[in-house]
Amino acid sequence: MRLWRCAVLVFLLPICCPWAPAQHIGGPAIRDVYPDKARYGVGEDVDLLVSLEPPAAGAPLRATLKAAFWHLDAQVAEIAQPVTLSGTNPVHVEMRWTPPHQDYRGYLADVRLLGPGGQVLGRSQTAIDVSSEWNRFPRYGYLAHYSKQEGAKPDAWIADLNKFHINGLEYYDFQYQHSQPLAGTVEHPAPEWHDIAGRTVSRAVLEQFLAAARARNMMSMAYNSSYSAYADAFTDGSGVRLQWATWDTPDGPRTLQTAKGLDLPTDGHWATPRLIYMNQNSPAWQHYLFGQMANLFRVYPFDGWHIDTFGTRGAYAYDGACVNFIAGFQTFIDNAKQALNKRIVLNTVNTWGQDQTARSDADFVYSELWEDHETYASIQDAAEQVHAANPAAGLVFAAYLQRQKKGDPPLATKVFNAPGVLLADAVIFASGASHIELGDGSRMLSGEYFPADTTFAVTPELSAALRHYYDFLTAYENVLRYNVFPADAAVTIGGQPSSPYGVPNTIWTMARRKGGKTIVHFINLKGSDDPYWRDVHADRPAASTLTNLRVRIALDGNVTGAGWASPDADGGRYHALALTRGDDHGQRYVEFVLPSLQYWDMVVLDQNATAR
């Protein structure tokens, strides 16, 4: 983190947006559908939870629910279940499906409500991830409020995040202190404590979050930094030693007052006036901190440790030796993994050290994007650095869309700007990563201090659109992520400006290959006059939907078939494309008509191989 720190089931109402499935107002319809867990192990049954709208009036209606399950362009199963709709209250139905015994597979579930004559009364989609581990396709969310006073609702919040298939959670600022994360002792844990900002953390609420997340197959990651301590940690009896701190110069007085650190605001709310930067690379500091984290894990059943860093490149040790924080990431991660036998994630601020992290024992790479990566194109560049270091590494970006800098005039709006959010997510997802943005039930991050997630609200329309985007990320994970490489494909679009480099006011054509498939992403940057993903003024214009785009893709190899899908259209369903093949001076190409493009379309060209 760059520090400028200043099973309850919830069913959504139908949302009116251009890409939502048609609903029959006043009649029977599908209100919502989603799986009961964020991730499933091989051989584990899937329960689809379906909420149905009853007829407006009249006799009970006997209908049928049908769910078809698709992996890319192949239907792998279909199940049916009779239902009777009556009364005035929604009808809740569970449909059980046993997926194929294949690991690391994403599926799109297409659910239809059929009337007595077979007519379609309602249709909706969701996605399913069958993966024995979460780290190949991480979809990371967060929690940041842990008391009834702050309105924490563990069961409801986790149920909401499950609808987006969030399979891991960062528990931000739940800990007592950085150098002593457990409040109380292993034998006698404290019932409540205060975090660094003076907020109350309830042990009971924390335990409820952990239990609710485990029931949904979500991994729980305990937040704590790798190199910080409160100013009084050296005198409070905890065992922290000044010799483990760092300084800005190789010589000079080695005192607490001169130690390197971060001054916190003097508004009276912070538990310490300074965070002292410790020598992350010191074996003695590591031994101490790993022991403190082990105590925490003896009390609370976290799955792992989310290690934060503060964007510091280097300092000097007590003896004057140079301390290279970035170069020490991989060793710190590997040592923490060995000492704790827990899942490990580390924040590579501004992507510094992310290539080393990709080769470490971390579960996946987590990079916070700052000044060096503020353009759409730089997101792809950052992703490519990770994929080049380790093509199998999972990747999550922290990118704060409406973060304002000190001195910026306050925004008139109190809601997130949907075009800015969707366009950034399109670029991040198409680049083979996911975006930590959703948390605390139905909130989103606007800045790096997660408890400030009440600053902007998420509109129902944006929430509905994001459901489609996260369905898409999950259903098509096998062509979006894991061992995906740049493809040598030249793309042109008749009558439209296009570019493979993320140029403003063009259609960005991003070509990838995996397992004999060529995947081309079309991202609509038309109407966006600047190259920056950060929507500081919340004024990114809505993308105009383009229709019937004639596309030519020149590439080597024989294309046997093609299809397209979009989170902006038809619930993300996959549709075949009619191809025309040709040869231009020895260069093969295919042509087709892309029916529509709003923010993001994906085209998959099949070249006789299966994406895994």
Cα dist from 269 to 87, 201, 277, 494, whole Å: 53, 15, 21, 59
Cα dist from 88 to 26, 28, 57, 198, whole Å: 11, 11, 8, 47
Q: What local confidence, expressed as pLDDT, does residue 49 receive?
A: 98
Q: What local confidence, expressed as pLDDT, does residue 16 receive?
A: 34
Q: Regarding predicted confidence, which is higher, 536 or 343?
A: 343
- The pLDDT tens digits of the residues spanning 177-224 come to 999 999 999 999 999 999 999 999 999 999 999 999 999 999 999 999
- The pLDDT tens digits of the residues spanning 267-303 come to 778 999 999 999 999 999 999 999 999 999 999 999 9
The token pair that represents 425 in the structure block:
């997510």
Q: Which of 430, 442, 501, 547 is nearest to 10 (CA)?
A: 442
Is the pLDDT confidence value at 609 over 70?
no
Reported as half-sphere exposure (CB side, CA atoms, 13 A), residue 610 has a value of 6
Name the one residue in this structure whose structure tokens are 């929690």: 143
Mean pLDDT on 524-538: 94
Is the pLDDT confidence value at 446 over 80?
yes
Residue 2 banded pLDDT, cuts 50, 70, 90: low
Residue 26 banded pLDDT, cuts 50, 70, 90: low
Residues 549, 575: Cα–Cα separation, whole Å: 15
Query: What residue ranges define each of the domains in the chain, with the CATH number in brackets?
Result: 29-130 (2.60.40.10), 140-398 (3.20.20.80), 485-606 (2.60.40.1180)
Is the pLDDT confidence value at 24 over 50?
no
What letter does residue 270 receive in the DSSP assignment? Answer: -
CB atoms within 10 A of CB 332: 24
What's the first-to-final CA gap in the chain, in angstroms? 33
Least confident of 101-110, 345-354, 403-412, 549-558: 403-412
Residues 296, 174: Cα–Cα separation, whole Å: 11
- The pLDDT tens digits of the residues spanning 460-501 come to 999 999 999 999 999 999 999 999 999 999 999 999 999 999
Is the pLDDT confidence value at 3 over 70?
no
Measured CA angle at 323 (ends 318, 329), to 5 deg: 135
Residues 587, 150: Cα–Cα separation, whole Å: 62
Claim: this prediction has a pTM higher than 0.85 = yes
Q: What local confidence, expressed as pLDDT, does residue 9 receive?
A: 30
Q: What local confidence, expressed as pLDDT, does residue 4 receive?
A: 41
Q: What local confidence, expressed as pLDDT, does residue 55 receive?
A: 87
Cα dist from 585 to 225, 522, 553, whole Å: 58, 26, 14
The answer to whether 379 and 369 have CB atoms below 8 angstroms apart is yes
Residue 522 banded pLDDT, cuts 50, 70, 90: very high
